[in-house]
């Protein structure tokens, strides 16, 4: 049980890393349709490329946290993995499809210099950012609320059961937090007019997130959580208030840190509400506990040794990557498009 609890906490840490890092990736993708402005000289496309370049060196590395979290769940809690991925099959499949679409759009957007091509790629990136953020929020809210399980710990509900008012509100909260996180990241990583626009947008989103996220957190706390997580709700509220203040003072670095703190508090609230279960039963029904879902002590022991060796190396490498690409970018750093035109592709083919 001790190692099982350790791995429950470690999986929470992995999800924290994913939401903090992939969260601003999602936010930047959402902002492709919001921040860039057209002026008749191609500036809108340049600014979109600027936004993509802010996350270009890191977005695929950030997704490793998702793969690791899923793999750790499979190895440490196989019954949790089986029940979760069967009961949430359609939302998780939609997330996977959206992430694939986004990855393809990132890789192929600049391959062809054509307005229609880039417009479709931008729409694909936006689709692959909005959908996962919303559905991850839906999934985590259901983990807080609980889901109907039968005596064999199999999901006994329907797809409609996953879209309760509480779960949909939780999905809106995560989407809004990712959008805020992305706006702050853009203001931190860019310079010039787009930086000012991103900072103003971040300040407005922070004001909106205070009542929306705060109301959902209080709802979760009163209906499904435990006493000690009130402190977590307070930390999240203080973090959002701090984002309002720091964005107003052009302290993007501090605002980004506070925004990350809010996402950390969110994960702590989710996992704290679930404990001692990995899948609470809806309405006090059958639940899947940490002990019931855990692998054997031998398996958990091997996993612990491997994680102790590899995790620091992965974190150090990713930190080094962020340090190398720490410089701010501006529209002056974006070169003219170099992709092939459709005519050149036809000439090469025929």
Q: What is the pLDDT of residues 207-227, one digit of tens each?
A: 999 999 999 999 999 988 888
Q: What is the DSSP letter of 288?
A: E
Q: How far apart are CA 52 and CA 143, in angstroms?
A: 32
Alpha-carbon span 81 to 99, nearest angstrom: 20
Cα 318 to its chain centre, rounded Å, is 17
Report pLDDT digits (tens) over 74-121: 999 999 999 888 889 999 999 999 999 999 999 888 887 778 888 899
H helices of the chain, in order, are 2-31, 43-55, 59-62, 64-76, 78-87, 89-108, 115-145, 165-189, 193-224, 230-248, 252-274, 290-293, 297-324, 342-349
Widest distance between CA atoms in the chain: 70
Rounded to an integer, what distance in angstroms lies between the CA atom of residue 182 and that of residue 52?
Answer: 12
Mean confidence (pLDDT) of the chain:
88
d(Cα 342, Cα 348) in Å, to the nearest integer? 10
**Res 344 pLDDT > 60:** no
Q: What is the pTM of this model?
A: 0.91
Contact 155, 87 (CB under 8 A): yes
pLDDT digits (tens, 9 = 90+) for 24-71: 999 999 999 888 876 655 578 888 889 999 998 888 889 889 999 999
Per-residue tokens: 64: 């490793």
Q: With pLDDT > 70 as the criterion, what percentage of the chain qualifies?
A: 94
| φ/ψ of residue 237, rounded to 5 | -65, -45
Q: Give the CA distances from residue 275 to residues 24, 146, 288, 290, in Å, rounded to whole numbers and listed in that order.
A: 28, 12, 10, 8
- The dihedral formed by the CA atoms of 42, 47, 50 and 54, expressed in degrees to the nearest 10: -160
Whether pLDDT at 340 is above 70: no
With vertex at residue 47, the alpha carbon angle to CA 45 and CA 53, rounded to the nearest 5 degrees, is 105
Residue 248: what pLDDT?
80
């Amino acid at each position: 049980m001790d190692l099982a609890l350790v791995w429950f906490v470690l999986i929470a840490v992995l999800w924290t890393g994913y939401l903090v890092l992939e969260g601003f990736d999602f936010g930047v993708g959402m902002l492709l349709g919001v921040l860039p402005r057209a002026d008749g000289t191609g500036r809108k496309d340049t600014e979109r490329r600027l936004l993509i370049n802010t996350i270009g060196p890191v977005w695929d590395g950030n997704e490793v946290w998702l793969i690791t979290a899923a793999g750790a769940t499979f190895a440490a809690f196989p019954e949790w993995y089986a029940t979760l991925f069967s009961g949430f099959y359609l939302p998780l499949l939609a997330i996977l499809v959206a992430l694939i679409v986004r990855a393809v759009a990132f890789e192929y957007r600049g391959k062809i210099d054509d307005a229609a091509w880039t417009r479709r790629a931008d729409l694909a990136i936006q689709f692959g950012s909005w959908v996962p953020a919303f559905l991850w929020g839906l999934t985590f809210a259901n983990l807080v609320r609980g889901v109907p399980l039968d005596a064999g710990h199999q999901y006994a509900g329907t797809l409609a059961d996953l879209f309760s008012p509480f779960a949909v509100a939780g999905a809106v909260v995560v989407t809004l937090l990712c959008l805020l996180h992305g706006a702050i990241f853009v203001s931190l990583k860019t310079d010039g007019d787009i930086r000012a626009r991103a900072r103003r947008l971040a300040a407005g989103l922070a004001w909106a997130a205070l009542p929306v996220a705060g109301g959902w957190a209080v709802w979760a706390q009163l209906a499904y959580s435990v006493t000690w997580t009130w402190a977590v709700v307070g930390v999240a509220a203080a973090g959002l208030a701090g984002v309002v203040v720091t964005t107003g003072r052009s302290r993007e670095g501090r605002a980004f840190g506070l925004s990350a703190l809010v996402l950390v508090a969110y994960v702590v609230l989710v996992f704290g509400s679930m404990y001692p279960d990995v899948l609470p039963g809806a309405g006090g029904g059958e639940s899947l506990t940490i002990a019931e879902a855990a692998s054997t002590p031998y398996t958990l022991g091997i996993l612990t040794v491997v994680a102790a060796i590899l995790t620091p190396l992965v974190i150090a490498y990713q930190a080094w990557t962020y340090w190398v690409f720490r410089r701010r970018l501006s529209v002056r750093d974006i070169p003219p498009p170099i992709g092939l035109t459709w005519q050149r592709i036809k000439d090469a083919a025929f």
